[in-house]
Amino acid sequence: MARLPRLGPAGIPQHVIQRGNNRQACFCSEQDMIAYTGWLKQYAKEFNIQVHAWVLMTNHVHLLVTPESEQGVSKLMQALGRIYVRYFNREYRRSGTLWEGRYKSCLVQSENYLLQCYRYIELNPVRAGMVSDPGEYFWSSYGCNGLGRASSLLTPHMQYLALGVSPALRQERYRALFRHALDAPALDKIRGALNRGLALGSGRFKAQVEKQFARRVTEMPLGRPRMIFL
């Protein structure tokens, strides 16, 4: 049976993860990361995608994006994945697949949840034990969002802009969000929505998405359905 196309409405942020096949490395050098981010910028512009946050890890990538057109994220990830695999195979004299199947993604409610995804993404190197502070890791958007590093790849989301009236104030308040790590329930909620292709948000947000697009974005109840006796 053919798989349903991904739910990719315009104007709703998406948290995206792409993993290396069998957890193998998909970035072996800084040159690889330079190549990937260059094509990410190119295709984000081509397919009208706003990129709010990212992190490039050794064997996976996280992105927080908002498409301006339907299915824009799918087009972005397909084009980006193909050109990067060709580059990687040529560079390392290999053949075959690089990515672990299709990328995973979830819709994100802007209110209350979007900045959690910012933090989840940019704290990846800290959780992995690679650095003690997210500002120490170059290949993430924290340097832009938290420290003011310029990047033509970045488009700030309105929730980020609402942190303050000036760039300096926004960056200060943004850094304050990182004084504490995300707690276990927040991590589980983000990972669950991402890995199952659900929506991350309030019950009302999920109900609105399901009604508008006729697609389930909430988890099915556990256990067998109850028998109803008439």
| 60/214 Cα distance (integer angstroms) | 31
Question: Domain coordinates of the chain in residue numbers?
Answer: 14-211
| Among candidate residues 5, 15, 10, the one with its CA nearest the CA of residue 187 | 15
Domain 14-211 CATH (choose: 3.30.70.1290, 1.10.3720.10, 3.30.70.920, 1.20.1440.120): 3.30.70.1290
The reported pTM is 0.92
How confident is the prediction along the chain (230 residues), in pLDDT tens digits per residue?
445 667 889 999 999 999 999 989 999 999 999 999 999 999 999 999 999 999 999 999 999 999 999 999 999 999 999 999 999 999 999 998 999 988 999 999 999 899 999 999 999 999 999 999 999 999 999 999 999 999 999 999 999 999 999 999 999 999 999 999 999 999 999 999 999 889 999 999 889 988 888 888 887 655 555 443 33
Written as one letter, the residue type at 228 is I
The residue ranges of DSSP E strands in 46-189, in sequence order, are 49-56, 60-67, 104-108
